[in-house]
Structure 1
Amino acid sequence: MTDPRMLRFRRPHHGGGRLMATYRRLAGASSRPWTIRCMPVCSSTEELLGTWLRDQPSLTGPRALIATHQRRGVGQWGRAWVSPPGGVWISAALPWRSHRSAQAGLLGLALALSVVQRLEQRGLAVQIKWPNDLLVNGRKLAGLLPGVVQRGSQLRLLRVGLGLNVRNPVPAEGIALRRLEGQQAADPIHWTAEVLLALDHCYRVGGDGSWCLDGVRDRLWSNQLVHPENGQIWQISGLEDDGALRLRQGSMTERWRRWP
């Protein structure tokens, strides 16, 4: 039996008139031909973007699936991402060309930096908790889940799922834009457009993402961390060229490409 949720998804869901008007106003002459689908509620934008990519692989431009509310949003390690109305919940796919091999981790850092730079233009001080969380005052404002789609050894698409707290309720360890000075009237539509602009910037620069490394280093959330395996404090000594986190404790060193 066909899942009725998928029947609902396969009907045209273009929408987003106000969103695209906001995006074009902010982007000006640099706006791109995004294909947008807006959902009032869904299980997961990541799931539905995957279905869309399988059903219509011939679309050549960037596309994004945006939900007002996700029932089963997914974060890092498959953890549930609480996604009530009032936030930005988006999954996007960007056609990608790179003359060098590109990795999801490094491109994810490039995406994170691009989003941070949009937030900074609004006067916000944001740090990057490696590899893909954005923090304000030590509390989580946004999270990114990057991925790549390859055809053989050729990178075909850069994918990203992103959640940004705007006016939605958040847990104690989180923070929303409406709680920050100067952002009390923060609008999810406006910030969805800002996210599209961040993705545009990342696409225009392109490459393997290594252009982001200096910017990410400057915005790392801490100079030390508690090692999850032994509970000891290790110093964060920087990033490798592939985006890996470099750690040191005395004469011992580690390089993390993913959090243990």
Structure 2
Amino acid sequence: MTDPRMPQHRCPHHGGGRLMATYRRLAGASARHWTIRHVPVCSSTEELLGTWLRDQPSLLGPRAVIATHQRRGVGQRGRAWVSPPGGVWISAALPWRSHGSGQAGLLGLALALSVAQRLEQRGLSVQIKWPNDLLVNGRKLAGLLPGVVQRGSQLRLLRIGLGLNVRNSVPGNAIALRRLEGQQAADPIRWTAEVLLAFDHCHAVGGDGAWCLDGVQARLWSDQLVHPEDGQIWRIAGLEGDGGLRLRQGSRTETWRRWP
């Protein structure tokens, strides 16, 4: 459902009703009670979601802020994420219950795998560029920005920001679904619903996200990389149990839990 209780400058966009109708059609009996705030333009969906969670911290079900256009979207390592009309720009919060503390990196990989699997159901071959980018034909199609909120030592909330290129213009190192074979009629509303379904799947599995490790490792974008600190080629040796990227160069080993 869309949320009508927003101030006037954040009122729901008219696309919210069609989005939820599409989502319910695709989800069938497994549809969840999402609360959606859909805005035509904003500075950042992450900012709006943060304000919403501060104003209404009680989370009985999943909620999301979706924008047609972001002016100042934020990607990995604080980089600007260009978010013009025609893409999927969403920040979501999922109530979470798991034993022990949650790790944003591992849960982010679980979300990345869930989104990749939705794309694969439409015939796309997707690679995961650790930690949270989705590539097709070596070019960036989507990016994810995970975060967790804990109460004491217990994970209470999983947050995720996602950008997916659908019909929007993209820079040269990226790709949009409309450019891919069979996806010329790619619809941002349909793909927003697909993203919600991916989040649903990850939430239904729950836990600490470790279930994703084999699937992510099978989709890693490369078997080597150039180390940003020494400029040498290191071999990607797989994933650690917490989602860290294991690297080897001769007798040297490293584990990254975030990109240096």
Give the TM-score, by structure 1 length. Answer: 0.95
Q: Does 1:135 align with 2:139?
A: no
2:42 aligns to what SS in structure 1?
coil
Q: Distance in 2 between matches of 1:12 and 1:235?
A: 49
Q: Does 1:69 align with 2:64?
A: no
Shift of 1:234: 0.3
Matches within 5 A, 1:1-260: 7-9=7-9, 12-13=11-12, 16-260=16-260
On the 8 A contact 2:100/2:155 being kept in 1, the answer is no
Q: Distance in 2 between matches of 1:204 and 1:110?
A: 12
Shift of 1:12: 5.0
Cα deviations by residue, 1:125-160 (Å, 9 ceiling, x for unpaired): 000000000000110000000000111211110000
Q: Which amino acid aligns with 1:13?
A: P
1:186 aligns to what SS in structure 2?
coil
Shift of 1:60: 1.2
Q: Which runs of 5+ in 2 are unaligned?
A: 1-5
Shift of 1:13: 2.9
Shift of 1:59: 3.3
Q: Distance in 1 between matches of 2:253 and 2:154?
A: 33
Q: Distance in 1 between matches of 2:7 and 2:33?
A: 26
Shift of 1:108: 0.1
For residues 51 and 59 of structure 1, do their structure 2 counterparts lie closer, same or farther at Cα, with a shift above 3 Å needed?
same
Q: Distance in 2 between matches of 1:201 and 1:232?
A: 39
On the 8 A contact 1:98/1:155 being kept in 2, the answer is yes
On the 8 A contact 1:100/1:207 being kept in 2, the answer is no
Percentage identity across paired residues of the two chains: 85
Q: Which runs of 5+ in 1 are unaligned?
A: 1-5
2:28 aligns to what SS in structure 1?
helix
Q: Which amino acid aligns with 1:88?
A: V
Q: Distance in 1 between matches of 2:259 and 2:80?
A: 17
Give the TM-score, by structure 2 length. Answer: 0.95
CA RMSD of aligned residues (A): 1.2
Q: Distance in 1 between matches of 2:78 and 2:228?
A: 18
Cα deviations by residue, 1:185-242 (Å, 9 ceiling, x for unpaired): 0000000000000000000000000000000000000000000001100000000000
Cα deviations by residue, 1:24-81 (Å, 9 ceiling, x for unpaired): 0000000000000000000000000000000011231100000000000011111110
Q: Which amino acid aligns with 1:144?
A: L
Q: Which amino acid aligns with 1:204?
A: A
Map of 1:3 onto structure 2: none
